[in-house]
A and B are shown apart, each in its own frame.
Chain A
Amino acid sequence: MIVVLALTLTVLGCACLYLASPNQKWLSQNLPRKPLLAAGSLLLVAGLIAWIAAFLPLSGIFVTLHVAMVCLFAFPYAAALRDWRSN
């Protein structure tokens, strides 16, 4: 259960960070950057705490990092795939 929670928080945190980027392609208009960055950071910290609770501090840090890496390259590709299909 805590793993699902940790995963959800990390994915949502990365989604906020992606939406905060001026290069995001999910929305036609960019949203205010600072609130998204703050929300993303908070969610990632919460995710990190949950991962640490699920494993141990070192494992928790590395799991958060690797899940975040997957999300951060997958989100731009998901947007590009949608754009390519709609074209």
Chain B
Amino acid sequence: MIRADIVKHYKTVHTWTGISCGLALFIAFYAGALTMFQEPIARWASPPAAGVAAVPLDDADRLLELVVAAHPEARKEGITLHLRGHENEPARVTWEEDAAHQEGQPHEHVHWWATLKPDGTLLSKQEEPSELAEFINAIHMRVGIPEPWGSYFMGVVSLLYGVALIAGMIVLLPSLTKDFLALRVGHNLKRMWLDAHNVVGVTALPFHLVMAVTATAWSFGGPLWSAQESVIFGGRQKVVMKRDFERWTAPNPTGDADVMMSPGQLLQRLHAQVPDFEPKVMIFKNFGDKAAAVRFVGAERGYVGHTSFGGVMLSAVTGNLIKDNRASRQDPDRRASTTIFALHTGEYGGITITWAYFFLGFSGAWLFYSGNLLWVETRRKKARKGREDEQPRSTRLLGSATVGVCLGCVAGLSLTIVAAKWLHGSVADLNAWHAYIYYAVFLGSVAWAFAWGAARSAVHLLWLCAAATISIPLTTVLALLFPALGMWAHGSAATIGVDVVAFIGALCFAWMAIATARRVRHGPADSIWSIRKGDDHTAHEPVAIAAE
């Protein structure tokens, strides 16, 4: 039995670590849940490449030869041949080139795609792909704070998150058996919020522990690596790392030309040598050279972390296996680290794990939201003997912050997804506009929540979330009905899935908005979630609790 005073200390630790990092964790988990469908979102947001017909794989060797002849600099960076034909892969062949950059500044790349015209000549175009999915991932990783401070901030937040998890479990231990899986809905709001918070926190504890540890490691990875290098290893870490990188690097070009095997032949050679490997793309390095290599990026099904650092390299001249970095061929230390990080990204188990992580991500967001609501409810001043006290300033402020930050993030992400179709072709730098829209909606929502108070703004912003999210499938419907708008509606299951999930999400937000509006008008007045302040003498009668 744990002493009551110890439990009390841990409760204080849990409360304050949770409150201090809950809002950032809500953003990280909500955006993180969306990143589980990063590829379908990227496909949904990518315009069809105008005038580009799919080049059959049998003609890909000719396409590669034409690209190399017209863009010889692409040989060194690597030419990617896409095998799946997804919407976010504008043509069979793409590559990157170094963009002009200032001395000392990081390298940036421009993106090219190429295909064959009907007459068999080359059509190549520089076009930046949609970075919407990457933007959502950046919000997930750094909650919108620029590097390197975003990583440091999230590192601290992840550490506090881990502390909050452990402290929370210690607080729960005395009543864990009795209250496990209990969710009591009733007039005792504090009990209800506590149960709602605990059910998610306890049942998904292993998931949260893994997230806390891996997120901390990721966020502090750079500084920790540098510190280790200078304090412990004295420069040897870099040598080991360089040796490690050699496992993925292509052989140096010889300068002698040779005949390349066709992509179809190379695929046959791959299947013959590594039959369990499922390639997504082929990356040709030094095409045309005697030492040309092709790296197959893909997955070896069944492994945790089936694609991370994976890949198989064949000689593009002979088709012989040069390097094999499949999951099953990794060293134990590499395998261990890949497994741990894949537990963060959900890179295993196919669609089942994608959906499981999606729901666990939302449940995590809910965990932090409900934690804040519990804090507010615990400090609520109940009206006594006809006297109605003003709610504490701290609860009003946290209520507004919770509503503004959480719902601002939801609405901002939905609207920035919608913008991928509405703004395409209308603005010069759509990827920058994704950020402008998100931050404008997010900051506007926070300001709105503080201006109108938690109760009113919760209703307004939930309707905004519903409207922004329903705009995703509505945009697709409009694109189908009015092609003159210049938008697109892809017909693949993945992109239709984005619309369907957004539609269901919008219905959920609308339901929450209706329930919250009812609570705001008819719920107990002695709460920050009510707009009835002393104007209704029935305030203290028990009423149905809808949204609180």
Contacts and interface: CB of A to CB of B under 8 A. Distances in A.
A30 interface: no
A3 B183 contact: no
B181 A7 contact: no
Contact of B348 (A3, A23, A59, A79): A59
A73 B303 contact: no
Nearest to B300: A56
A70 interface: yes
Contacts of A79: 183
Given A23-B182, A63-B348, A80-B185, A56 B303 contact: yes
B352 A63 contact: yes
A72 B207 CA distance: 13
Interface residues of B, number: 31
A7 to B, nearest CB: 6
B181 A76 contact: yes
A59 B300 CA distance: 12
Nearest to A78: B183
B203 interface: yes
B121 to A, nearest CB: 46
Interface stretch (B284-292, B353-361, B412-420, B527-535): B353-361
Main DSSP-derived SS at the A contact region = helix
Interface residues on A, range: 20 to 34
Interface in A33-85: 51, 55-56, 58-59, 62-63, 65-67, 69-70, 72-77, 79-80, 83-84
A50 to B, nearest CB: 11
A23 B304 CA distance: 35
Contact of B181 (A21, A51, A69): A21
A56 B180 contact: no
Contacts of A18: 181
A7 B182 CA distance: 24
A63 B349 contact: yes
Contacts, number: 83
Main DSSP-derived SS at the B contact region = helix
B199 interface: yes
Nearest to A25: B183
B265 to A, nearest CB: 31
A72 B363 CA distance: 12
Interface string B482-521: 0000000000000000000000000000000000000000
Interface in B298-328: 301-304
B179 interface: yes
A46 B179 CA distance: 28
B302 A73 contact: no
Nearest to A52: B302
B181 A66 contact: no
Contact of A87 (B200, B349, B359, B544): B544
Contacts of B206: 65, 69
A7 B49 CA distance: 39
Contacts of B207: 66, 69
B185 A84 contact: yes
A23 B180 contact: yes
| Minimum-distance CB pairs A-B, first 9 | A23-B182, A72-B203, A76-B183, A56-B302, A63-B349, A73-B203, A66-B356, A55-B302, A80-B183
25 contacts: A18-B181, A23-B179, A23-B180, A23-B181, A23-B182, A24-B181, A25-B183, A58-B303, A62-B304, A62-B348, A63-B349, A63-B352, A63-B356, A66-B207, A66-B356, A66-B360, A67-B352, A69-B203, A69-B356, A70-B356, A73-B204, A74-B359, A76-B195, A77-B196, A80-B196
